[in-house]
Structure 1
Amino acid sequence: MRNPLALVAGAAECLPEARALADELKIPCLDCVDPVDIAEPAYVLQLGAQLQLCATGRKAPGPVLVDFVGGTLAHRRKYGGGKGQQIAKAVGIRGGFGPRVVDATAGLGRDAFVLASLGCAVHMLERNTVVRALLRDGLERLRRAASEDPTLAEIAARMTLEERPISALDWLAQQPANSIPVVYLDPMFPARDKSAKVKKEMAAFHQLVGSDEDADALLAPAYAACYYRVVVKRPRVAPFLAGKKPALSLQGKSGRFDIYTKHGIPT
């Protein structure tokens, strides 16, 4: 079976780092090739000024990358509603209190960044090695930008990434009971049908990661490890995780936050 993914360098000076990363990820390195000129594989990681996941071919959509500095996350940090956002209410942010959060299914780190920007220390877990590499690259660029921006420096200091190749299920099972203030779960949910709308740029990401078929198994160890609550982000019509009804749910237009409480949040 052909490898569904390869790595390319965006410039000659990036080649040594690109080859080292390809060895780490156990995928082939095609050296300096433009993704538009590649017929196979269907997707490549391109390492240049940033690491990005690209579909190949001349009609490919734009790349997927982790950008904590600009784009939509910069806009949300400035104008997203602050502590009035549903995610803030779901994890229990109030006044000067921002609980430490373990984001056990971090993905591209967007919710982790929002929580860190609202004052929470966030530790991210991501079992997919390629997605974890994208996260690591995004964090490195955030920290470089933070050297010139005190606001970003505060956010960067609150974000950490688990580098061990360990699943969230195993990591949570290793934690002492009641040791994590809040565990946050946002498992990848399978599309309900072939007409489900997914942005073209995200098609590569969804194909790479797939759905989290073992997501139900996360709830029990997450609840055992948490002190205050487990927060589960779900599509609006999705069933409860593991079939367990939460203590409360916060409904939105397209999604909801299911909250499994253990101890009360400080007032």
Structure 2
Amino acid sequence: MEKMRKIPVVLAENPADREAAELLAEHLRTEMVRRLTDVPEATLVLKFCPEGLTLTDRKLSLRGDFSGMARRLKTNNLRQEMLVRAARIRRPERRPVAVDATAGLGEDSLLLAAAGFTVELYEYNPVIAALLADALKRARGDGNTVLASAAAEMHLHEEDSAAVLRKGSLHPELVLLDPMFPERKKSALIGKKFQLLQQLERPCSEEEELLQAAEAAHPGKIVIKRPLKGPFLAGRKPEYSISGKAVRYDCFVFPEYSS
């Protein structure tokens, strides 16, 4: 898996945030500052804000936030989500487990959790993991019970998913892969998010390793999120795909491991 490229400084202007900021800075092995004026112009900043932990380069800002997805979690809307359709499995006796091996900011995991999965989220980059952890904390305390219940079924691990999957001990019903992909820069909306994330980690270059690790976990299904016209991950053709206007989901099915 690709290693981190940049570590931002942690900014806490409000005294009430400084203890948490110091702990986060220690975890990231970076500096904690109290004023934005103390930060050099070209430095990434991880800022404690009333709205939530925010990554910024002073031009663009990025914050994990599930509140805007509440409408998509309503039953009728959820059934129409391409990912939920792609993730359908034979109904098991227990609540099925999904591994989101490239969690990012967790939006796809939220859809899976709302659709009935317990989701184990793996994010190797500690800055992205911090943004996701903050978003999950806020979602679990949200007044929207559907959102809060879904977030409660999402468990974050700051680990290399490929290493965990290769151990073969998870046996999830589903593995979701969404490696960062350069072609996404063609979308202005996604491009803004990509520009900040790209400063933290590079797009995936070890596609075959990632796919082999997912297979080693013996899931019932692997679902891979790709740009609509992007190549298959590692050049491997799936059993079938579900396509939308901008993305598609490539699906590999393993009946021998299904519940």
Fold agreement, TM-score > 0.5 = yes
Residue 226 of structure 1 aligns to a residue in which SS? coil
Corresponding position of 2:65: 67
Question: After superposition, what is the alpha-carbon deviation per residue over 1:95-124, rounded to whole angstroms, capped at 9, x for unaligned?
Answer: 899732100000010000111112211110
Residue 191 of structure 1 aligns to a residue in which SS? helix
- Whether 1:153 aligns to 2:151 is no
The count of aligned residue pairs is 252
Distance 1:195 1:65, change over 3 A: closer
Corresponding position of 2:55: 53
- Whether 1:169 aligns to 2:165 is no
CA distance in 2, matches of 1:253, 1:125: 27
Question: After superposition, what is the alpha-carbon deviation per residue over 1:10-43, rounded to whole angstroms, capped at 9, x for unaligned?
Answer: 4122122212211110111222327xx8542332
Letter matched to residue 88 of structure 1: V
- Maintained 8 Å contact 1:92/1:99: no
Larger relative contact order, structure 1 or 2 (CA cutoff 8 Å, min sep 6): 2
Distance 1:79 1:228, change over 3 A: closer
CA distance in 1, matches of 2:118, 2:258: 17
Q: How does 1:57-206 map to 2 (within 5 A)?
A: 60-61=59-60, 63-68=61-66, 70-71=67-68, 73-78=69-74, 81-92=77-88, 99-145=96-142, 148-163=143-158, 166-176=159-169, 179-191=171-183, 197=188, 198-206=190-198
Question: After superposition, what is the alpha-carbon deviation per residue over 1:32-87, rounded to whole angstroms, capped at 9, x for unaligned?
Answer: 327xx85423320001331110122xxx23x211112x22x123224882123211
- Maintained 8 Å contact 2:218/2:257: no
CA distance in 2, matches of 1:243, 1:256: 15
- Maintained 8 Å contact 1:3/1:27: no
CA distance in 2, matches of 1:19, 1:235: 38
Letter matched to residue 139 of structure 1: L
Identity of aligned residues (%): 34
Corresponding position of 2:211: 219
- Of 19, 24, 27, 2:27 maps to 24
Q: RMSD of aligned C-alpha atoms?
A: 2.8
CA distance in 1, matches of 2:73, 2:10: 32
CA distance in 2, matches of 1:264, 1:226: 9
- Of 236, 243, 249, 1:251 maps to 243
CA distance in 1, matches of 2:35, 2:17: 9
Distance 1:167 1:4, change over 3 A: closer
Question: After superposition, what is the alpha-carbon deviation per residue over 1:191-240, rounded to whole angstroms, capped at 9, x for unaligned?
Answer: 37x76634435521232233111233111121121331111011112111
- Maintained 8 Å contact 1:228/1:261: yes
- Maintained 8 Å contact 1:83/1:94: no
| 1:243 to partner: Cα distance | 1.3
Gaps of 5+ in 1: none
Once superposed, which parts of structure 1, at least 4 consecutive aligned residues long, lie more than 6 Å away? 94-98, 264-267
